[in-house]
Structure 1
Amino acid sequence: MTKLPTGLIVGKFWPPHRGHQLLLEAAAAQVAELVVLVYASPDAPVMPAALRTSWIKELYRGDEVARGARIGSTPLRVFALSAEADGVPPDAAPDEVHREFVRRWLAGQGIAVDVVFSSEDYGHGFAQHLGVTHVVVDKARQQVPVSGTQLRADVAVLAHQLHPLVAAQLGVVPPTHVPRVVLLGAESSGKSTLCAALAEACNTAWVPEYGRTLHEQKSGNLDYEDLLYIARRHVELEDAAAAQANQVLFCDTNAATTALYSYYYFHRCDPMLQAMAAVCGQRYAHTFVCAPTVPFEHDNWRGPEALRSFQHGMILMQLEFYGIPYTLVEGTVSQRVEQVKNQLSINSEQ
């Protein structure tokens, strides 16, 4: 398929939901570059356009050196517009006013578009005003039955229509069909080994620590922005693994621990990562902490053994700060497996 040079999407994205993601991804597959304008007037005071824009950019930011957002191979340019800075017309203004506003704004930015993508009735007339093609994406909401208005009215009930990163910013967690159990622990405390052993013993899936994967891929040279990316990718991998899980999904590490490492390495933490850490108590049905009593294994990636005790204490402090109940597991791998299974009332036959 020959791609058109530049596509355009205009919307409130209030908040960005799965339907928006379908629109963005369908559009990106058909153009060489995708321009997205985010605005509303009056704007949302608790999640203004600039914040919603940052959520969209983060959803599609990869781990490559070039930090610009992209969907597949298509660069994504997302702009937050406001009434104060850009003269955004009121939402209630006639369609002709909005069409002309966008046309003038694009011209002022030197941006020429070739196609408009939308899931709304206004799309055809809007594209005509710009003199470009119009492509409709899931107007009937059959692929993703979602409504931004309904979401704003009851975000907790409709959290399944949100990416976990966006949901966390709103203080909710999308539901899952299997309970998720997270294992935490300092470096070389046996949590990865225990996760794998539990998955085998319970005939289910488990999710390795994505932070470790990226750390090794980048030869230990993580950037500040990588920590939020790690947390986002980890929950995406959890969602993917949940489809193969049998009764329970075991997860190696959570966003709260990733936030700890952000402070450890960079002395700061992105607010989006802080929000993901804050909902860990809702995301996981049970939290287990591996006692740092197994022999320390040097692997060229870990810090000194003396750091392990401090890390363990910080994890416990953070859990208590968030009010997250946890169970400490000790002993050999087999003993720890039995401790977890007993706590979760899982039989060996399952």
Structure 2
Amino acid sequence: MGERERRIGLTLGKYAPFHKGHQYVVETALREMDEVIVIIYDCPETIDISLPVRAGWIRTLYPAVRVIEARGGPNEVGYTPEIKAMHEQYVLGLLEDQRITHFYSSEPYGEHMSEALQAADRRVDMGRTSYAVSGTAVREAPYEQRAFLDPIVYRDMIKKIVLLGAPSTGKTTLAKVLAERYATVWMPEYGREYWEQHQMDRRLTKEQLVEIAEGHREHEEILFNEARRYAFVDTNAITTYMFSLYYHGEAHPRLAELAQLAVTRYDLVFVCDTDIPYDDTWDRSGDVQRMEFHAAIRADLEQRDIPYTLLHGTVEQRVRQVKAVLYTE
């Protein structure tokens, strides 16, 4: 007997966003095929999450899948001969001479695309009985539909907002108030909790500061999956890194790495100004240190080329300033 033909499955879509219904199609193909290819269309008119980020969801969840990022494809939808031909030629062009044996979909276009590919037409869950979900429904109400999204997808459906600033600049109060106003969750500064439990003479080691940054990041990941549209975060690894420089003159390499990862981790950065009275509690080092640290944080953000908005005034004034930025997003 001759050698069995290698089975190569293809599926495609906008994946805006990539939900459990899409996952079901991909997982079915992975079970049945020797190789699976996914074409993901660029669609800035449909969703504001970039093509590389959306493609990254699939690569992360399914490392065995070959993902093709499709830019400049046809925007027309429908089943006229002209529109069908347009999409067929575009897909064939992307694949070049790649042989496809099975085309996977849960849409009527499976018929004409399979014919164009000279592949078997493999429909999966056409009636949405396994996963009653649609991309439109998820985009309209991501929080309510989050059960249909993997956490790595949902975290990119929300705006991650971090509040930075020196000690006693109102970050915690503001984060809490903003979360209440937007009916969402907020992330307290994990470092404070850790410091209260582990400090010696009000100091922590460089290794302990790494533990703070790691712990804060782990708590954030949990928070992001519970957020509704926005997640407000009090402090991040950059601040912990700054503390290490201030008290030790250097930082652990892992802490420097976590600080660098924080550069692109958040969608918006706000810095709380020092124009509120200093709260001189026992665990703080004085107003002079507050002013020095404030200047250092701003200088570091500018050096890292991180855009930020400086907040000033009362809590209500700061809330209005944040709202104005969110309104323009």
Q: TM-score, normalised by structure 2?
A: 0.52
- Aligned counterpart for 1:278 among listed residues 241, 260, 270: 260
SS of 1:182's partner is strand
Alignment of 1:316-335 (within 5 A): 316-335=298-317
Q: Does 1:207 align with 2:187?
A: yes
SS of 1:212's partner is helix
- Aligned counterpart for 1:340 among listed residues 301, 308, 322: 322
Structure 1 segments of 4 or more deviating over 4 A?
A: 158-161
Q: How many residues align?
A: 184
- Deviation, 1:346, is 8.5
- Deviation, 1:157, is 2.5
Alignment of 1:48-87 (within 5 A): none
- Deviation, 1:267, is 1.7
Separation (CA, whole Å) in 1 of partners of 2:203 and 2:292 = 23
Structure 1 range deviating more: 266-275 or 244-253: 266-275
Cα offsets for 1:80-139 (capped at 9, x unmatched): xxxxxxxxxxxxxxxxxxxxxxxxxxxxxxxxxxxxxxxxxxxxxxxxxxxxxxxxxxxx
2:148 aligns with none
Alignment of 1:143-222 (within 5 A): 157=56, 176-177=155-156, 178-219=158-199, 220-222=202-204
SS of 1:206's partner is strand
Amino acid aligned to 1:194:
L
- Deviation, 1:222, is 1.8
Q: Does 1:296 align with 2:285?
A: no
SS of 2:233's partner is strand
Separation (CA, whole Å) in 2 of partners of 1:254 and 1:312 = 14
- Deviation, 1:324, is 0.2
Separation (CA, whole Å) in 2 of partners of 1:180 and 1:255 = 14
Question: CA, structure 1 residues 204+270, in 2 after alignment: closer, same or farther (shift >3 Å)?
Answer: same
- Deviation, 1:221, is 4.2
SS of 1:157's partner is helix
Separation (CA, whole Å) in 2 of partners of 1:302 and 1:160 = 42
Question: CA, structure 1 residues 240+160, in 2 after alignment: closer, same or farther (shift >3 Å)?
Answer: farther
- Deviation, 1:279, is 2.4
Separation (CA, whole Å) in 2 of partners of 1:254 and 1:160 = 24
Separation (CA, whole Å) in 1 of partners of 2:203 and 2:237 = 20
Cα offsets for 1:27-80 (capped at 9, x unmatched): xxxxxxxxxxxxxxxxxxxxxxxxxxxxxxxxxxxxxxxxxxxxxxxxxxxxxx
Separation (CA, whole Å) in 2 of partners of 1:205 and 1:316 = 26
Amino acid aligned to 1:286:
L
- Deviation, 1:276, is 1.3
| Structure showing greater Rg | 2
SS of 2:275's partner is coil
Q: TM-score, normalised by structure 1?
A: 0.49
2:294 aligns with 312
Structure 1 contact 202–346 (Cα < 8 Å) conserved? no
Gaps of 5+ in 1: 1-140, 143-153, 162-173
